[in-house]
Amino acid sequence: MGNFNSIEEAREFFKNDKFATETGIYLDELNDEYCQCSLKIEDNHKNAVGGVMGGVMFTLADFAFAALSNHLHSPTVAQQVSINYLSAPKGEKLIAKAVCKKNGRSSSIINVDVVDDTGRDVVQFVGTGFKL
């Protein structure tokens, strides 16, 4: 069992992650296997040409990574991350699903896939968490 006993407990913990929560990111699901977060795309998430800002998508993926890694071991911080922007979102919502690929003694590797609500692959994120 992870560090959080319920989704409500995790939401309470992460409410202080102001940048993510004030951006509109919501923690949908969290368990020992995966984490899912979502974001309804609003005008303030868009860049000058009308696309979703890369930083918004990065923040969504990073938040899902943080929630899962800290559920598995708290505290965990990001040591290294990489992101590939695959396609521009076409839908009205972004969904990030984080899955732990390796949970070692001092680090974890977590993959986060972000899709839009049409099923379009948008982002592929890989994070290495360092367990403090």
What number is the average pLDDT over the span 71-75? 95
| Structure confidence at residue 94 as a pLDDT band (50, 70, 90) | very high
pLDDT of residue 2: 83
What number is the average pLDDT over the span 75-90? 97
What number is the average pLDDT over the span 72-88? 97
- Nearest-10 Cα torsion for 103, 66, 123, 37: 110
CATH of domain 7-131: 3.10.129.10
- C-alpha distance from residue 131 to each of 62, 85, 117, 121 (Å): 16, 27, 33, 29
In this predicted structure, the answer to whether residue 113 has a pLDDT above a threshold of 70 is yes
Residue 77's CB: how many other CB atoms inside 10 A?
Answer: 11
- Angstrom distance (rounded) from CA 125 to CA 69: 14
H/E stretch holding 42 reads: none
What number is the average pLDDT over the span 29-53? 97
H/E stretch holding 10 reads: helix 7-14
Half-sphere exposure of 102 (CA within 13 A, CB side): 11
pTM above 0.95, yes or no: yes
Residues in the chain: 132
Domain boundaries, given as residue ranges, for the chain: 7-131
Q: Is 117 exposed, middle or buried (0-12, 13-18, 19+ CB in 10 A)?
A: middle
